[in-house]
Structure 1
Amino acid sequence: MAKYIDLQTFTDARGNLTVVEKILPFDIKRVFYIYGVDETERGHHRHKKTVQAAIALNGSCRIMNHAGEGLPLEEFTLDKPSKCLIIDPEDFHWMDNFTKDCILMVFASEYYDKDDYIFEPYKQI
């Protein structure tokens, strides 16, 4: 089930420094980022093995998440770079409502494998 984690951020007169260290529940094997998104939705899948950590480095977006049959649809907003959303493999998710300046960075626990993707959604309650 998806959940927020707060990233340690140091702030002083010079600005902010946010750290991703010893907080993710996996070793990072892949990093990708999504930006320049129009009105479309991204994602619409879940995984067999991959755990992901999503951070909006700039701007904001919404992540809709469904963790399984019989569970409610959840809505998460990523709107600051110190907020991270952990997405478990069983979480069927999609992203939308991207602001024009949004940069969504994602850390993944596995290397890309097309066979790790499941595109069939759960039945919603």
Structure 2
Amino acid sequence: MRRSIEECRLIDLPKFSDPRGSLSFVQKGEHLPFDIQRVYYLYDAPDDVSRGLHAHKELEQLIIAISGSFTITINDGNAKKKIRLTRPDQGLYMCPRIWRELTEFSSDAVCLVLASHPYDPDDYIFDIEEL
């Protein structure tokens, strides 16, 4: 089934700030259209590398710039859009069958990914023509 980049969207997360700092959270059933089954994060990525370069058959994700910033280019095979993530209280919801490429990492970037399924190598699409 062909998906559209229009199904991907920015999700604002709660943010509470006071003189001690800020706190944001993701709570089951409130902020995501899926249950979290896996959490991983990317860090120490040089600014001249590309990460991702794949899509998923079934996996849904929320991608958050916990620290620093990076750019995600999403592509559904028909349309393409660049999104710059810069805030730890906002994430990009990624539906299945959308190609992603992460680039332009700031030196302090930490990319947190909340995923709907455990790791499954058979869920990956490495050829954009297969979308």
**Alignment TM-score, normalising by the size of structure 1:** 0.92
Match of 1:58 among 64, 67, 74: 67
**Among 82, 85, 88, the residue aligned to 1:81:** 88
CA drift of 1:122 comes to 4.2
Q: Return the alpha-carbon distance in structure 1 between the equivalents of residues 11 and 102 of structure 2.
A: 18
Corresponding residue number in structure 1 for 2:58: 49
Deviation at 1:121, TM superposition (A): 1.2
Gaps of 5+ in 1: none
List gaps (5 residues or longer) in structure 2: 1-6
SS at match of 1:49: coil
For 1:122 and 1:86, the matched residues in 2 are separated by 22
Amino acid at match of 2:87: K
Are 2:47 and 1:5 aligned?
no
Structure 2 counterpart SS, 1:115: helix
Q: 1:68-125 CA distances to partner (integer Å, 9 max, x unpaired)?
A: x33x2111111010111001111101100001110000000011000000011149xx
* Residue aligned with 1:17, SS: strand
TM-score, normalization by structure 2: 0.88
After TM superposition, the runs of 4+ consecutive aligned structure 1 residues lying more than 4 A away are: none
Q: Contact (CA 8 Å) 1:65, 1:93: kept in 2 or not?
A: yes
For residues 116 and 17 of structure 1, what CA distance do their matches in structure 2 show?
33
Map 1:6-21 to 2 at 5 A.
Answer: 6-21=12-27
Question: What is the distance in 2 between the residues matched to 1:57 and 1:46?
Answer: 22
Letter matched to residue 39 of structure 2: V
- Which letter does structure 2 place at the counterpart of 1:92? W
- Aligned position for 1:28: 36
1:115 aligns with 2:122: yes
1:92–1:121: 8 Å Cα contact kept in structure 2? Answer: yes
- Are the equivalent residues in 2 in contact too, given 1:45–1:93 (CA < 8 A)? yes
**Aligned positions, number:** 121
> C-alpha root-mean-square deviation of aligned residues, in Å?
1.2
Richer in helix (by share)? 2
Identity %: 37
